[in-house]
Amino acid sequence: MAETPSVLQAWESFYVIVGSTAGALTGLQFVVLTLVAESGKVRTRGESISAFGTPNVVHFCAALLVASILSAPWGGLAPVGIALAGLGALGVIYSIVVLRRAMRQRTYRPVLEDWIWHAALPMLAYAALVHAGVTLRGGSADTLYVVAAAVLLLVFIGIHNAWDTVMYVIMLEVEEGEAEPEPPAVTSRSRGRRRRRRAAAP
């Protein structure tokens, strides 16, 4: 038991960086949703936001929560394992709910990359937390590397999905701008005709 605090303290700097990054990136997701709403190019619905927008905030918050759990002054690894296993189990359940929402919504048709980043990888990360939590209950400190990998994966998932959303909105705006017909060019001859008509008018 005496070695447990020192084991967790060895990861202190790592989770300070991850936790602060996750907190800052949560604000980034709000900016992304604001851009989507203000663009007017995407017809967002509740199910689409719940499937592709809200989960990113949840992933960032989960990474922040794991960083907080690992930074708490625990007296042993067993309570840490229980907390991580519970968080991971909730994450797996939530990932299944998100998958159902993505399949049910009709605003956007996901491709293979979307299924990987929005469904498969988050479920993998949360399942890894469940496994790490169960293993930590037995006192295996090496499992903390699995926890670190799962937390980083959640952060990278949120970054990728937020960036993907921004690029999707930008591409829609570019395609719409190219599709708009250009106004007819005003030549010097047409300007001369307009002047003659104004001069001839009573």
Range with top average pLDDT, 27-41, 133-147, 166-180: 133-147
Between CA 80 and CA 139, with CA 91 as vertex, the angle to 5 degrees is: 20
Q: Between residues 180 and 35, which one has the greater pLDDT?
A: 35
CA-CA distance, 89 to 159, in Å (whole number)?
23
Give pLDDT tens digits for 94-129.
Answer: 999 999 999 988 878 889 999 999 999 999 999 999
Write phi, then psi, for 187 (nearest 5 degrees): -95, 170
Q: Which two tokens stand for residue 190?
A: 């047409």
Q: What is the pLDDT of residue 198?
A: 47
Closest listed residue to residue 18, CA positions, set 94, 125, 103, 102: 125
First-last CA distance in the chain = 102
